[in-house]
Structure 1
Amino acid sequence: MGKIVISETVSLDGVFQDPVGAEGFRFAGWFDQLVGSDRQAWAKVEFEEAVGADALLMGRLTYEWFVARGWASRDGDWPDRLRELPKYVVSSTLEDPTWVNSAVLEGDVLDEVAKLKDGVDGEIVVYGSGRLVQALIEHDLFDELRLIVCPFALGEGERPVGRISDRKSLRLTACRTVGDSLVSLTYQPGVPA
């Protein structure tokens, strides 16, 4: 059975919206504040996560973002790894995915994700994908939440746990610094010990 891992880079106040400036959000491109060793350390963590993944799960907008930015054809170890991974896209409108090893999950999102979890052994990593992430959290369909926290606050914007109908308890299972000023936090569902 697979393990759904939500992996997000967020601001200090938990915003993950428009980190590179593609959506026209007021604070678009906030991720570009990371420079030098912090950015390199972040990329190393993300690459290691891709190496450990067995599949990717994403919403249509995130999928299209990766494709539009050339991840399907870039050179390098990280793009190569993402190309070889099976990619599952939740969408009711995407008909012909162009990125190699991609498949569209149609129908009820929760049912499709549950089937995917039963059919894949190992980690199924979810990047971005705001509405999908919120549905996974709302319906307890995730096994781990990984956050890399950047050292600045935005004050507004979409958050991965921004719209849920009831309180959720999470248990911190790992915490470490990344670079000079980032923090990596790993949570699992459940009551804190």
Structure 2
Amino acid sequence: MGKIVISETASLDGVIQDPTGEEGFRFGGWFDPAKADREAWAKVLIAEALGTEALLLGRRSYEYFVARGWVSRSGEWADRLRSLPKYVVSSAIENLEWQNSTVLKGDVVDEVSKLKRKVNGDIVVYASGRLVPTLMEHDLVDELRLIVYPAVAGAGERLFGETGDRKIMHLIGARTVGDSLVSLTYQPVREA
């Protein structure tokens, strides 16, 4: 059975929007203060990708990766992501440029539940700000991995918006990455 793993980069105040400032968001670019730690950050994400069996992406995240050249980019991380099966939740997208990509068009909860039964291992969700809250709301998330940057963005899209109920998490791992980043790993506490 598959395990849905949310892998996200966030500011200290939980903002995930426009970390590099490329999107022109007024509060974007909060990723920049930790440039010296990017190599250590990349090593964490490469190791994660090597232990992943599939990617689950929302349409916007898929398009973000494609627009930034991940379809043809080279290197250990890019090669691994290209080789992985990628499942894209979308009712609008038709043509998928990134090899090994499949569209999940039905009900998100049903499709992701089927995917969890089909894949054996980690199914990693990257940077999917609209998909993640849906997965959390329906208790489909098995693990949350956050890399927290030492910046307060001040405003912007956050990883979690409102949910129908609180979601209690249990810390299962914490470590520094480079000199100023923190990697936190949580599992949801399922009520009996």
TM-score over 0.5 (shorter chain): yes
Deviation at 1:23, TM superposition (A): 3.4
Q: What corresponds to 1:143 in structure 2? A: 142
Secondary structure of 2:175's aligned partner: strand
* Backbone CA RMSD of aligned residues: 1.3
Q: What corresponds to 2:132 in structure 1? A: 133
What is the alpha-carbon distance in structure 1 between the residues aligned to residue 102 and residue 22 of structure 2? 24
Amino acid of the structure 2 residue aligned with 1:142: V
Amino acid of the structure 2 residue aligned with 1:11: S
What's the TM-score, normalizing by structure 2?
A: 0.96
Deviation at 1:158, TM superposition (A): 1.5
What is the alpha-carbon distance in structure 2 between the residues aligned to residue 112 and residue 153 of structure 1? 35
Q: What corresponds to 1:120 in structure 2? A: 119
Q: Which runs of 5+ in 1 are unaligned?
A: none
- On the 8 A contact 2:7/2:125 being kept in 1, the answer is yes
Q: Does 1:47 align with 2:46?
A: yes
Secondary structure of 2:8's aligned partner: strand
What's the TM-score, normalizing by structure 1?
A: 0.95
Count of residue pairs the alignment pairs up? 191
Q: What corresponds to 2:15 in structure 1? A: 15
Deviation at 1:24, TM superposition (A): 3.1
Amino acid of the structure 1 residue aligned with 2:15: V
Runs in 1 of length 4+ with deviation above 3 angstroms? none
What is the alpha-carbon distance in structure 2 between the residues aligned to residue 39 and residue 158 of structure 1? 22
Q: What corresponds to 1:94 in structure 2? A: 93
What is the alpha-carbon distance in structure 1 between the residues aligned to residue 105 and residue 82 of structure 2? 21
Q: What corresponds to 2:162 in structure 1? A: 163
Deviation at 1:51, TM superposition (A): 0.5
Amino acid of the structure 2 residue aligned with 1:74: R
Amino acid of the structure 1 residue aligned with 2:169: L
What is the alpha-carbon distance in structure 1 between the residues aligned to residue 161 and residue 127 of structure 2? 14
- Residue 22 to residue 108, structure 1, CA distance change in 2 (3 Å): farther
Secondary structure of 2:31's aligned partner: helix
- On the 8 A contact 2:34/2:150 being kept in 1, the answer is no
Amino acid of the structure 1 residue aligned with 2:71: A
Q: Which runs of 5+ in 2 are unaligned?
A: none
What is the alpha-carbon distance in structure 2 between the residues aligned to residue 170 and residue 88 of structure 1? 26
